[in-house]
A and B are shown apart, each in its own frame.
Chain A
Amino acid sequence: MNTTTNNDKNMRLVFGVLFLLGLVAPFVVYPTFLMKILCFGLFASAFNLLLGFVGLLSFGHAAFLGAAGYVCGLLVRDSGLSPELGILGGTLAAGFLGWVFGKLAIRRSGIYFAMITLALAQMVFFIVQQAPMTGGEDGLQGVPRGNLFGFIDLDDNMSMYYLVYAIFCAGFFVIYRTIHSPFGQILKAIRENQPRAISLGYDVDKFKLFAFVISAALSGLAGATKTLVFQLASLSDVHWHMSGEVVLMTLLGGLGTIFGPLVGAATIVTLQNELADKVGSWVTVIMGVIFVLCVLVFRRGIVGEIQALIRRSGIN
């Protein structure tokens, strides 16, 4: 009992420190870059909710990120909606798409689940590529950031940053809450022993579907926000490589840890950004090497390894 309260305290401390860091960060680090990290951090965390806490590997999460981005972009640019409504629209669209994917895939498990989600995501890619209003391979360009609630000018990078930060914190909180909620308890039970959970009267498919929809909607939230940040949505967000990238982020940061995906996303985004100037065509090779190392020697990921280290030193 004592240890749990201690843990709670530590956790609260960690959260507090990180929260403050996020508040001051844009004065030190380039804000657009931070916003990108936050968007991908949220995306990876949402993905992790599914893989790390329900044990479902979706290889089609790019569809949610990308589709929400396009929906948000179209709503804001072409229908003239305000940014908050655009984000909301994107999120809802992703949630709905998640429901459709989930309905089709949820009864399969393991590799089959991964493959069906991949196939569905390919269909979404195809639609986005073909549809007349998406701009095809040019992407959806020139999305205005607009004014939040009609009076906060988001063209100012700092206001945009704090909006993204607020969205990230809200999304992250939803994920944290979901994991530590009555619902999350059942998810844990399902991951640990699915037949037993069924025999206790829980409709496992429904829980998985619900978790899938939450994960999809939050991925969509990340995608919609990203569209506003960069003022564009592009095909690469819907491409299956993006689905692979989010797995890499999650794995690198630490599967099933609460901060892992954020750390993983930050690492990958930083690498992509930094390597872009230095190694040229070796970026993909380096990504591949990271993948291989993660799988072979570093399975717990950065945060997982740190936690294990703390636990070990705590025992000694």
Chain B
Amino acid sequence: MNSATGKTEYLRITDLHSYYGESHILHGIDMKVDKGECVTLLGRNGSGRSTTLKSIMGLVGRRSGSIMLNGTEIINVPTHKIARHGVGFCPEERAIFSSLSTEENLTLAPIVASGGMTDDEIYEMFPNLKERRNSPGTKLSGGEQQMLAMARILRTGARLLLLDEITEGLAPVIVKKLGEIITELKKRGYTIVLVEQNFRFAAPLADRHYVLEHGEIIETISQDDLPTKMEWLQQTLGV
């Protein structure tokens, strides 16, 4: 994936500033993700990683700068159209809908492009969901809800996945499983931006790491450089 040739740029963010009401959270983010790559956003609590993902989706109060998605500028595009451009977002809080059954939750998001996983494939990947198909979404366990949140964006044919802390609060077995899933997705050519606390989980999956602090990218570390930067990372993030 990292070969110098044949790379197509899929997402490019330039000088992104974001605000919640009065407070200025992101102070000029620049980053670039190629097609089929997996990158992570690292940083302390509150450093602005989730906000970066939300900014891409247009879920912050106000934003400026440029976000190019597969050659299209989306900085002023409304959220639902961004999703229709093929971006799948798995939010930190999972956001499973309690008034919808598991199945309704799963099929809620409209198909935005062909090539998404079929329901069978999904149920194969997450057998728990099949079992609990008819129970209300929020009656699922935390882990199951996380799977559901992942699954519902895999169905839609989105090619860029924004995953926020998907391993949070999950039992190690499930974390391991998610790791396998992401590897599989990478194989299928999905582009992934991963926000993770769990560095051990993220490190082997990512092609590149962006380190955020106070809403700015303070370091970019490619997978190859990781061993040499380990100590610095440990110092700044405590990982």
Q: In the complex they form, do A and B come into direct contact, defined as C-beta atoms under 8 angstroms apart? A: no
Q: List A residues at the B interface (Cβ < 8 Å).
A: none
Q: List B residues at the A interface (Cβ < 8 Å).
A: none
